[in-house]
Amino acid sequence: MTMLLVLASCEERTPGHFQDIAGVYFNNTTGTMLITDSLDVTFVYTAGNDLEVPVKVQLLGRTEDQDRPFAITVTSDNAEEGVDYILPQQAVIPAGSSYADYVVTLKRTEALKSEKKMICLQVHPNEHFELPITHLVQYADTVSTLEYRIYFSDMFTKAPAAWDANLVGVFTQQKFELICKVLEIDPADFNDPSVITLAKLLYISTEMSAYVEEQVKKKAAGEPYDEDAFDKETGEPLKFRK
């Protein structure tokens, strides 16, 4: 793997002077172990309304026997703190540690079903830390080590791995969410075909078809019914068979 760290200063640093360096930078990797400056997450496989995202802030230099605060800001053009995300109460490199996990809590809102939101984290110099590393070059691709962007939504980009249209019909997010609600299935299970087997899909198809039929009868009788059993655009009952 070819990597090149780009230093913020042209001042020469020798190994003997390493103890004089005290810096921080973002050090977040992908599944391929490449460092990245952004992350795209979705709530669709999350049962709850909160999603914790740890952002790794790396120390460059020696550890110390006391906590050291680092300076960080979070900005956004379309997300609001306290509504769309919650920030940690403190930002410190813990005593004796070479890094900190700055955990951002994303909040599930109705807006995320139709809009992807983004927050941008930036580290800054303060009395404890410099910013000696500004970018990382890997395979001719340059990523920032001073900025980290988190994109988040409650939308699918494709059907889950275990979904079979031949057994439960064409995939839609509304159908997926209704299945998880009615049958109390963990959304993450749909990414594991060993959990959502063909037999399980046949069971889902039978149970959900019966559930929708029941809601249709209730609606026709003027009784309370589950509006989620009807397509939000057409008003037609959802279909769980091909």
Q: Where in the chain are the domains? A: 3-153, 165-229
What is d(CA 33, CA 39) in angstroms, rounded to the nearest whole number?
14
* 58 closest CA partner among 108, 133, 116, 118: 133
What is d(CA 207, CA 189) in angstroms, rounded to the nearest whole number?
17
pLDDT (tens, 9 = 90+) of the chain, 242 residues, equals 445 555 554 344 444 455 678 999 999 998 777 899 999 999 999 989 999 999 999 999 999 999 999 999 999 999 999 999 999 999 999 999 999 999 999 999 999 999 999 999 999 999 999 999 999 888 778 999 999 999 999 999 889 999 999 999 999 999 999 999 999 999 999 999 999 999 999 999 999 999 999 999 999 999 999 999 999 999 999 999 87
What is d(CA 97, CA 221) in angstroms, rounded to the nearest whole number?
65
* 59 closest CA partner among 27, 35, 24: 24
Rounded to 5 degrees, φ, ψ at 88 are -60, 155
| Contacts (Cβ under 8 Å, ≥6 apart) of 3 | 35, 136, 137, 138
CATH assignment of 3-153, among 2.60.40.10, 2.60.40.2030, 1.20.58.220, 2.60.40.1930: 2.60.40.2030
Number of CB atoms found within 10 A of residue 43's CB = 21
Do residues 51 and 15 lie in contact, with contact meaning Cβ atoms separated by under 8 Å? Answer: no
